[in-house]
Amino acid sequence: MAGSWDGKLKRLVNEAPQDFVSWLLGGALFERELSPHLPHRNVDADLLYQIRLDDEPFLLHLEFQRRSDPLMARRLWEYNVLATCKFDCPVYSFVLYLKKDGKIAESPYRLSLHDGQHVHRFLFGVIKLWELPTDALTRLALPGLLPLLPLTREGKRREVVEDVIRGLCPPGEQPQRELLSLAYGLAALAFEETDDRDWLRRRFRMIEDILEDSWAFQELREKALEQGLEQGIQQGLEQGRLQGMQQGMLQGMQQGIQEATKQEVERLRQILLAFVQARFPALVPLAEQQGKSFNHPEQLQALILNVSVAQSELEAKELLSTIDKSAS
């Protein structure tokens, strides 16, 4: 899954693991999360849970896909075999696709001999959210699934987003902040028209006081602190002027980029995506595209600064699109 969407889906499932287990394997009980690292191939699955179904132990393996992967079925098979060997337990594997994009993995995956005899026949679950009826999820009454609604068959509608917000902010109860943050990001992926995206931004701005306490904003602050940005932001705010903010942030990052390497560039790209996701999630694809086109820390640094001081999504889009690429 490209960019940061795999992380969002992992967060979503981990916020309500029993809801997802109940959806995918009715009657199963979530017990605990297992390490997804599969050492024989030195790879990590997206999510691996220990579950119990009909009083028998099993594993649930989930993979998330934003874009087409021609090797997806084979990867699922490999992960399933490795997880089975590692934990000595049968494994249910599922792949969840967010949006239609090219060829989709089909079950079963087969490996055959020269004469056509199958030596491996692997069954796995395939979920295409854009084909899933919206009411098929709403009828389950599982809050953890609500952020997925805008990506379902009839979900690309404003009233569906309103239903999601109401479901995650029940009267007289604490709002489910983490799920709301994830619902915002996934709805931004579903809504493509400018008017709808502007409405979505305005609608979630109305509950911004709730979102500010969510992991997305906390994670953003942690990343900024790790990269020396916190000091720059604070200095800029104290001066009360845009120039002061930019100078302070540059000073905060200067030490971290003196010995820049490819790894440093990648970290700066992740900071850029974190800023964009927290403030203007609809611009994540543009930020990913722009971030990948630069190999110099100074250029990525300029992108981060632009996003941090932009006052609107339109301004952020213009700033992201006008960075000088002459040094790239």
Six token digits for residue 67: 């874009």
**Looking at 57-71, 109-123, 207-221, 292-306, which range is the least confident one?**
207-221
* pLDDT tens readout for residues 253-296: 555 444 445 767 777 777 778 778 777 888 888 888 887 887 77
* pLDDT tens readout for residues 6-33: 677 888 899 999 999 999 999 999 999 9
* pLDDT tens readout for residues 109-162: 999 998 888 889 999 999 999 999 999 999 999 999 999 999 999 999 999 999
pLDDT for residue 53: 95
pLDDT for residue 271: 79
pLDDT for residue 174: 86
pTM attached to this predicted model: 0.64
